[in-house]
Amino acid sequence: MEFGPIWRAARRNKTGPVLIAVQIALTLAVVVNAVFIIQQRIEKITRDNGMDVDNILSVNSAVIGQDFKAELGVREDLRALRTIPGVIAVSASQHVPLSGSGWGTEFAASPESGAPRVNGVQYMMTTDAIQTLGVELVAGREFAEEDMVYAENFSDPQPSLIITQAYADELFPDGDALGQPLYDGLGRPSTIIGIVRRMHGAWVGWDKLSHVALLPRVMPSNSTHYLIRTEPGLVNQTLAQVEAALFGVNDQRVLQELRPMTETKDRSYQGDRGMAVLLGVVTLLMVSVTGVGIIGLASFAVRQRFKQIGTRRAVGARRRDILRYFLLENWMITTAGVVLGTLAALGINYWLMTAYDLERLDPLLLPVGILVIWALGLLAVAGPARRAAGISPAIATRTI
Amino acid sequence: MLEMHSVSKVYRTDTVETHALRDFSLQVEEGEFVAVTGPSGSGKTTFLNIAGLLEELSDGAYHLDGEEIGSLGDDARSRIRNEKIGFIFQSFNLIPDLDVFDNVDVPLRYRGFNAAERSRRIDESLERVGLTSRRRHLPSQLSGGQQQRVAIARALAGAPRFLLADEPTGNLDSEMAEAVLGLLNEINAAGTTIVMVTHDPDLARRVPRNVHVLDGRLQAPAQPEAPPIGAPNGLGAAAMSL
């Protein structure tokens, strides 16, 4: 192998190789961290939210008029929605999960004023909430009709609730949350009658996203959301029948935000998806520009050394010797870039960890990035190297 | 050593067919020093390319050191170039980014010698051409004559039996040309067969055997009008003074 001569020659004519090595280093450093962020965003978007999002749709109904009785109106609407073919379960809710809109709350495990309070989000829903959301009940029971509170005032007591396992674990680190009372901001107790394995709340970027409380309660409001869970694959078909069902009950209302829950979720993760796409495009561009740079440098080197290659062939180099020379030269430049890039990638990750609370780089990502850059280098130089290997040794005797 | 029988070389494009060599026959014995002369476009460089296995012939037969060349593949031709033939080019063809040592090293690496053997051969070659002290100089730091001596050292390092020189003094002034010719004579005197292509009849006359090429054909043999210059020792000394 011609490591020595290639290294010494590169040192004497270093502008091109240094620029490419720096470009490779930057590409590796940026791409590895970008891919890491993309990976995290994808994990965030695709993480288990505990609900049967694909088969749920939601609609907001705002009844016009002062004589609307929430209890009666909601009961009639629910009854009408249940008659739509393919509907499994229906529940009213004051907000739609994953929508970016919710009712923040905080509960404590003790009535004492100094007791630690844990943030979360609450959804006031009707019976069938568990079945409608498609969440898994791991302890206790679903709401029964006798649990329902049709509140006249915001301050009316709330005797029972269901919370998520994550919320229960935070409130009761020793376990055994079922049956325990929780105390809201006004010190009113609510007994935990059920625990669900997982459910995500309103704000997808919030670190308390999994702290959810479901309350069997209907507020005295003209505006209500309905969550409707259908047989698999029937969401769109059901969407078309919701308006008729609700207007059949009462046509003095405004229906809005009628949409599949997948759309609601997509809207909430739009920023994450946009960031992933943007970083993906940047990654592709950087990799492409680096690849083109390597091709350019190698092509220039071949053109510049046309006679030199002919001379090497004349004094005994086989085609594969020339091919190997260019591949080796490029590999050495790439490797120099990879070494620099590895340090830069770790440096950028450390900065992101300290400045933006990003996690430590996936230990597999850097080796994979290095292999990809090496492969890119070899791929990019393959064409020019093959052209070089095809140069005739007779070039050596040409005077120009 | 070198036997060509009825060799022809035709270059073809879509519209033009050029006969660079026609029915070309030549025999060079082991240890000979032959000058191939002819005007520009006569076919002497084509002859050199075919003799040096840089190009394939179109027709005829070519034996080098008893081996039929026409049927050999590219790798085998490369091996023969590397082991049996040394090349000296008009414009030296040194690699500008490599120093003298690494330039002489180029063919030895393709030969597969280990580092110690290569180093020994490079030192010997550079000593033979009087450039030991310049081993870490770049070509750009040397005179034309010195560069040609580096090229000769590169050609000699593999101990070839056959040296092909393409206008070796073409880019040198008369004093340096004289020294290079002296060095070639010295190498020939040591047993290496040399074929030198030149368009300079004065230079050719100082070589023991001349052949003349015209329109791709070998002309009637000509004898040198002047004896080859000096004794090997004297020529070596001349080379050192370049």
Q: For the segment B125-138, what is each residue's pLDDT rounded down to a tens digit?
A: 999 888 899 999 99
CB-count exposure of residue B59 (10 Å: 0-12, 13-18, 19+): middle
Closest CA to A164 of A174, A177, A152: A177
Closest CA to A162 of A212, A108, A120: A212
What pLDDT score was predicted for residue B221?
58
What pLDDT score was predicted for residue B234?
35
CA distances, B178 to each of A85, A248, B204, B222 (Å): 107, 114, 12, 22
Tokens standing for residue B104: 């002489």
What pLDDT score was predicted for residue A96?
96
Instruction: Give B220's pLDDT tier (boundaries 50, 70, 90).
Output: low
Q: What is the DSSP letter of B228?
A: P
Q: Answer whether B48 sits within 8 Å of A311, measured CB to CB.
A: no
Closest CA to A347 of A20, A17, A28, A24: A28
Report the C-alpha gap between A41 and A199 in whole angstroms.
19
Measure A12 CA to nearest chain B CA, in Å.
6
What pLDDT score was predicted for residue B238?
35
Set of chain B residues whose Cβ sits within 8 Å of the Cβ of A314:
52, 54, 81, 87, 93
Q: Which residue of A has its CA nearest to B50?
A: A394
CB B186 within 8 A of CB B152: no
What pLDDT score was predicted for residue B233?
36
Q: Is B102 on the interface with A (CB under 8 A)?
A: yes
Set of chain B residues whose Cβ sits within 8 Å of the Cβ of A397:
45, 48-49, 52, 54, 89-90, 166
Selecting from A315, A396, A399 the residue whose C-beta is nearest the C-beta of B110 gives A315
Selecting from B48, B55, B106 the residue whose C-beta is nearest the C-beta of A312 gives B106
What pLDDT score was predicted for residue B61?
92
Pairing between β-strand A212-218 and β-strand A149-150 as defined by DSSP bridges: parallel
Measure B137 CA to nearest chain A CA, in Å.
12
Set of chain A residues whose Cβ sits within 8 Å of the Cβ of B118:
none
Selecting from A13, A314, A317 the residue whose C-beta is nearest the C-beta of B87 gives A314
- Residue to substitute from B50, B75, B110, interface A, most A β-carbons within 10 A: B110
Q: Which residue of A has its CA nearest to B112?
A: A1
SS3 B135: coil
Q: Answer whether A311 sits within 8 Å of B95, measured CB to CB.
A: yes
Q: Is B90 on the interface with A (CB under 8 A)?
A: yes
- Residue to substitute from A12, A392, A397, A400, interface B, most B β-carbons within 10 A: A397
CA distances, B66 to each of A56, B30, B71, B85, B86 (Å): 88, 11, 13, 14, 17
Set of chain B residues whose Cβ sits within 8 Å of the Cβ of A394:
49, 54-55
Selecting from A5, A12, A318 the residue whose C-beta is nearest the C-beta of B78 gives A318
Report the C-alpha gap between B178 and B183 in whole angstroms.
9
Q: Is the dihedral of CA B77, B80, B82, B87 positive or negative?
A: negative
Q: Answer whether B81 sits within 8 Å of A318, measured CB to CB.
A: no
Q: Is B89 on the interface with A (CB under 8 A)?
A: yes
What pLDDT score was predicted for residue B239?
36
Domains of chain B in start order, with CATH, are: 28-58+73-240 (3.40.50.300)
Selecting from B98, B154, B166 the residue whose C-beta is nearest the C-beta of A315 gives B154
Q: Answer whether A8 sits within 8 Å of B102, measured CB to CB.
A: yes
Indicate the residue type of A356.
Y
The string of pLDDT tens digits covering residues B85-125 is 999 988 889 999 899 999 999 999 999 899 999 999 999 99
Measure A296 CA to nearest chain B CA, in Å.
20
What pLDDT score was predicted for residue B242?
39
Give every residue of chain A whose pLDDT is below 50, as ranges.
Answer: none
Number of A/B CB contacts below 8 angstroms equals 86
Selecting from B54, B102, B109 the residue whose C-beta is nearest the C-beta of A396 gives B54
Longest dimension (CA), chain B: 54
Closest CA to A400 of B143, B45, B97, B53: B45
Chain A residues touching chain B at CB-CB below 8 Å: 2, 4-5, 8-9, 12-13, 307-308, 311-319, 321, 392-394, 396-397, 399
Set of chain A residues whose Cβ sits within 8 Å of the Cβ of B48:
397
Bridge partners (DSSP) of residue B34 are B195, B209
For range B205-222, the mean pLDDT: 84
- Top pLDDT among B13 and A46 is at A46
Q: Answer whether A314 sits within 8 Å of B91, measured CB to CB.
A: no
Contacts of B104 (CB under 8 A, 6+ apart): B122, B125, B126, B150, B153, B154, B157
Instruction: Give B231's pLDDT tier (boundaries 50, 70, 90).
Output: very low
Q: Answer whether A316 sits within 8 Å of B87, measured CB to CB.
A: no
Give ∠ CA A261-A264-A269 in degrees, rounded to 5.
125
What pLDDT score was predicted for residue B180?
83
Selecting from A307, A308, A394 the residue whose C-beta is nearest the C-beta of B49 gives A394
Set of chain A residues whose Cβ sits within 8 Å of the Cβ of B158:
316
Q: Answer whether B97 sits within 8 Å of A9, measured CB to CB.
A: yes
What pLDDT score was predicted for residue A317?
93
* Residue entry with tokens 């034996």: B63
Phi-psi region of A241 (alpha: psi -120 to 50; beta: other; left: phi over 0): alpha
Burial B122-136 (b: 16+ CB within 10 A, else e): bbebbebbbbeebbe
CB B195 within 8 A of CB B165: yes
The string of pLDDT tens digits covering residues B16-56 is 888 889 999 999 999 999 999 988 888 888 999 999 999 99
What pLDDT score was predicted for residue B240?
36
What pLDDT score was predicted for residue A399?
62
Closest CA to A8 of B103, B10, B140, B238: B103
Backbone angles phi, psi at B36, to 5 degrees: -105, 115
Pairing between β-strand B2-12 and β-strand B17-28 as defined by DSSP bridges: antiparallel
ipTM of the shown complex: 0.88
Instruction: Give B174's pLDDT tier (boundaries 50, 70, 90).
Output: confident
Q: Answer whether A308 sits within 8 Å of B95, measured CB to CB.
A: yes
